[in-house]
Each structure stands twice: as C-alpha cells, then as structure tokens.
C-alpha cells in the first residue's frame, strides 16, 4: 500500500508519540513514587505541636505498604489516615515545643500501579512554643492577635496579625496551624467577606467576596482543603441592611469556588463545625430543631434532635459529638450534655440530669477529658457558668472554678492538654470588659492571660 505525504506525517507523529510514551513510562519506573508535598514543609520552623503531619504522593499508594515505613524522631507513635493520595499522620500525643523532628518514610512503599518509593524520604522541621490567638479589643474594630505562652510567664508582647478597618468578626486556625481564615466587614454595616492570612501575619488574601451577603463562622475541613461557613443575604429595611436567615456554604481553598452545602437551598443552618478527622460536618438546623451531621463525601445525613441551638463539640477522632439539649423537668428546663456515638448510632446522656445548665463542651486533643460550663440553678451568690472538667466517659466531673459573680465560657484546650483557656466576665460590674484566663488543669492554678479580648483559640 502506497502512503501519501499526509499518511506519512500521521505515521511519524504517532510513532513519535509512542516513543515518548515509552520514555515517560520507563522514566516513571526509574523515578518511582514521589512525595510531591508535605505539611509541614521541609525545614519549616515554628510548627504547631499538635498540627497535622501530611504527605501527598505522586500517585495512589497501596495503603498497607506504608505501614512500618513512616517514623518520627524523637520517637512518637501515631495513626495514619488517608484521603486520596495524601497520608495524614496523627501523633498519639503533642510534640515537644521548640524541638527539631525528623520525618522518615522508608523506601519500598508501593503504588496501585506497581511503582515503589525507590529511596528514603527524609525531612526535618522544628516545633514552636505554645501559642494562642484571640480577638481584641472587645468593643470597636477587633483584630487577630497571637501571643506565646512562654512557660509560666506569658508576658510577651502580642503579635497583631490583621488591621481591618471595620474589624474581624470571627476566625479559625487551619488544622496544620499555618493559616487562618477570618470574616471581616467590608463596610461598617454591610458585606462581610472571608479572608486568609498566614499564621505569621503575612500572605493576606481574599478567600471569598460576599457581595450583598454576610459570610461568617468559618470552619476548616480536616484536610485543610475546604472551609464551611454561614452565608446570610443582606435585607434592606427601614433602618438599613440586616442579615437574613443563615445557610451553610462550603468554599474550596485552592480554587476559591463556593457552593451551598445542601441541594435544598431553603434549608437553614448555623454554626458549621467540621470533624477533626474524616469528612463529616455538624451544623444546627433550626427548622428541624436538630443538630445535623452531614458527610461531605457521601451526602449522608444524620439527625440529632435538639432545641438548644448549638452544633456541639467533636471528639478528636471524629466518631462522637457532645452537644447540649434542653430537658423539661416539672415546670423548669435544664441544659443536659448528650453524647452521640455516630459509629454505633446511639445517643446517651454524658452526665446524670441535675439542677444545672451544662453547655459549651470542649474535648482535650488527647480525647480523654471534656471541659464544659456549668451553671448551678439557684446557686449561692448568683453563680454564672463555672468551668468544669470530667473524664471522657463522664466520670470524675469536678469544678475548676467557683467564683461567685463571674461567668466563664469560650473554653479552649492547649495542644498538650495542660492548659485550659476561658473567657471570664465579671457579672457584678456594669459593662465589664471580658478577660482571657488560663487554668492549669494539672495544678488547678489560674492566671490572667490578657484583658479586653475574646474568642481564645490555641494553635494545634
């Protein structure tokens, strides 16, 4: 068969493509599987002591082949969880502050295509000192500040991360501790947008511009790829613009593309909170009077009846949710903490019902204790909510504060589980300015950390 000029050209192009493909395949086998991204990055400093450690591979691995090949020095055990090509190593305890760690993945881990990690992957990083972020001042335009615990002193000058003209409404720290997402007013009484900033104050950039909307209450997904938030349309009335009903949206951090969480855009939702592990997101649905748990990966929903109005606190493994419910007793109603075991589909009381209002649960990162606020109804001196702590199974519940005339809330655990931050209000002073206090849960000692501040959050 005679080939004309066009046939010859096509033949040459196809042959060249086959040769190139062969070279790529051969080269791929020679190079093998690669670690294309790590968190923290190689030689990173000031890494949070409870931050996520993740490795993204160039292609999907046979997960079992990584077992026994990943190690951290100084030695610490942990569990490995997967999301696509990315392995997440979750240490069994907090890392030591101001310490150089070496992460090693031994050669031999194999991909689903039969390629292997041909040589050891080794990288170092240094942890930082325990740090807390918070908003200040309470009245006026608040900004995000970061302050180091620095042992028992805590007197270092705080670092200011933002300078928003009309203030920051709220914020969340990424699971790896390297970035923050926050909501900030664009104008005094109008739109509220979402912004990103690095934990050192650099790299400020818009995440989502919310025209004629208020976007607030952000929450990071476990892998740091998405942010859930409340989105409220601004409604113009006789006295200006006010936010309307809240719905849950999710924005992809890399692409900055946002979409509603639910297909039914009439569904209301408040206080979205992603689980520390996995793809589940809790939020409160006022139309159903329930805490809803939505699996972002599968679309499955679980309904937890509650009229209290809060979306609860996740256990560190993402298998349990503790939330408050109003329980009627004769002519009164009391707040009781309930535990939803999502793996077993069981809801049980955390504590026996008593004449108290229990709320604002916070799990310690190690998972063995839960802090909560307890207000004793009819207690001496008109008690506000006090700080209590108990074992995760509800045993050994005891008070850490007993201050008549003071109220405590916004509880947040340090990464090592030693310190508990709490916002303190003096109920006996008119227009009192709240302060952030620290409680040493090992000794029971307390000290003021910073005044005229709110929303305390420890870095992971």
Instruction: Determine, yes or no, domain membership for 219.
Output: no
What pLDDT score was predicted for residue 207?
98
pLDDT (tens digit per residue) in 79-98 = 888 888 999 888 888 888 88
Range of the domain at 10: 1-31
Q: Check whether residue 21 and residue 3 sit in a common domain.
A: yes
Please tell me the distance from the alpha carbon of residue 40 to that of residue 420, in angstroms, as a whole number. 26
Q: Check whether residue 20 and residue 99 sit in a common domain.
A: no
Instruction: Determine, yes or no, domain membership for 377.
Output: no
Instruction: Determine, yes or no, domain membership for 16.
Output: yes
Please tell me the distance from the alpha carbon of residue 212 to that of residue 233, in angstroms, as a whole number. 6
> By three-state DSSP, how is residue 422 classified?
strand
Instruction: Determine, yes or no, domain membership for 78.
Output: yes
Q: Check whether residue 10 and residue 84 sit in a common domain.
A: no
Instruction: Determine, yes or no, domain membership for 156.
Output: no
What pLDDT score was predicted for residue 156?
67
pLDDT (tens digit per residue) in 266-305 = 899 999 999 998 899 999 999 999 999 999 999 999 999 9
pLDDT (tens digit per residue) in 128-173 = 888 999 999 999 899 999 998 864 444 568 999 999 999 999 999 9
Task: Assess contact for 411 and 421: CB atoms under 8 A.
Answer: yes
Task: Assess contact for 12 and 3: CB atoms under 8 A.
Answer: no
Q: Check whether residue 54 and residue 71 sit in a common domain.
A: yes
Q: Check whether residue 110 and residue 59 sit in a common domain.
A: yes
Please tell me the distance from the alpha carbon of residue 298 to that of residue 59, in angstroms, as a whole number. 23
Instruction: Determine, yes or no, domain membership for 268.
Output: no
What counts of helices (H) and strands (E) characterise the chain? 1, 36
State how many domains the chain has. 2
Q: Check whether residue 47 and residue 117 sit in a common domain.
A: yes
Residue 427 CB neighbours (<10 A): 14
Place of tokens 């408050």: 324
Place of tokens 């900055």: 256
Q: Is the pLDDT of residue 364 over 60?
A: yes
CATH number at residue 37: 2.60.40.3710
Q: Check whether residue 11 and residue 46 sit in a common domain.
A: no
Q: Check whether residue 15 and residue 69 sit in a common domain.
A: no
Please tell me the distance from the alpha carbon of residue 190 to that of residue 243, in angstroms, as a whole number. 9
Q: Determine phi and psi for 450, rounding to 5 degrees.
A: -160, 145
| pLDDT tier at 192, thresholds 50, 70, 90 | very high
Instruction: Determine, yes or no, domain membership for 44.
Output: yes
Q: Check whether residue 55 and residue 44 sit in a common domain.
A: yes
Instruction: Determine, yes or no, domain membership for 235.
Output: no
| pTM attached to this predicted model | 0.81
Q: Which helix (H) or strand (E) holds 281?
A: strand 280-285
Q: Check whether residue 14 and residue 39 sit in a common domain.
A: no
DSSP 391: E
Please tell me the distance from the alpha carbon of residue 55 to that of residue 278, in angstroms, as a whole number. 16
Q: Check whether residue 64 and residue 95 sit in a common domain.
A: yes
Q: Which helix (H) or strand (E) holds 11?
A: helix 5-31
DSSP 61: B
């Amino acid at each position: 068969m005679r080939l004309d000029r066009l046939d010859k050209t096509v033949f040459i192009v196809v042959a060249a493509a086959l040769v190139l493909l062969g070279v790529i395949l051969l080269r791929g086998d020679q190079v093998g599987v690669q670690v294309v991204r790590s968190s923290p990055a190689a030689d990173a400093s000031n890494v949070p002591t409870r931050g996520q450690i993740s490795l993204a591979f160039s292609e999907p691995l046979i997960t079992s082949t990584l077992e026994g090949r990943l190690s951290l020095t100084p030695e610490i055990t942990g569990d490995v969880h997967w999301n696509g090509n990315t392995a997440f190593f979750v240490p069994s305890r907090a890392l030591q502050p101001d310490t150089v760690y070496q992460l090693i993945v031994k050669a031999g881990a194999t991909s689903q295509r039969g390629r292997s990690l041909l040589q050891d992957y080794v990288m170092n990083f240094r942890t930082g000192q325990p740090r807390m972020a918070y908003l200040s001042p309470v009245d006026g335009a608040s900004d995000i500040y970061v302050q180091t615990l620095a042992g028992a002193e805590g007197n270092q000058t705080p670092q200011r991360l933002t300078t928003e003209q009309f203030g920051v409404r709220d914020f969340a720290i990424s699971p790896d501790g390297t970035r923050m997402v926050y909501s900030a007013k664009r104008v005094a009484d109008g739109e509220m947008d979402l912004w990103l900033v690095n934990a050192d104050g650099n790299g400020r950039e818009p995440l989502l511009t919310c025209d004629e909307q208020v976007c607030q209450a952000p929450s990071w997904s476990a892998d740091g790829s998405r942010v859930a938030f409340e989105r409220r349309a601004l409604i113009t009335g006789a006295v200006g613009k006010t936010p309307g009903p809240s719905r849950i949206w999710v924005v992809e951090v890399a692409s900055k593309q946002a979409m509603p969480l639910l297909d039914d855009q009439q569904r209301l939702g408040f206080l979205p909170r992603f689980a520390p592990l996995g793809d589940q997101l809790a939020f409160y649905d006022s139309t159903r009077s329930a805490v809803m748990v939505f699996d972002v990966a599968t679309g499955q929903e679980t309904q937890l009846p509650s009229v209290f109005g809060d979306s609860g606190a996740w256990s560190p493994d993402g298998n349990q949710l503790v939330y408050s419910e109003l329980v009627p007793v004769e002519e009164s109603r009391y707040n009781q903490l309930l535990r939803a075991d999502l793996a077993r589909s069981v809801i049980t009381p955390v504590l026996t019902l008593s004449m108290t209002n229990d709320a604002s649960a916070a799990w310690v990162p190690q998972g063995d204790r839960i802090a909560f606020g307890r207000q004793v109804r009819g207690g001496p001196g008109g008690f506000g909510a006090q700080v209590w702590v108990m074992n995760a199974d509800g045993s050994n519940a005891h008070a850490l504060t007993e201050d008549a005339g003071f109220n405590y809330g916004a509880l947040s655990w340090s990464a090592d589980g030693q310190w508990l931050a709490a916002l303190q209000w003096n109920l006996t002073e008119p227009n009192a300015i709240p302060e952030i206090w620290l409680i040493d849960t090992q000794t029971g000692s307390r000290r003021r950390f910073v005044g005229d501040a709110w929303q305390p959050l420890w870095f992971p």
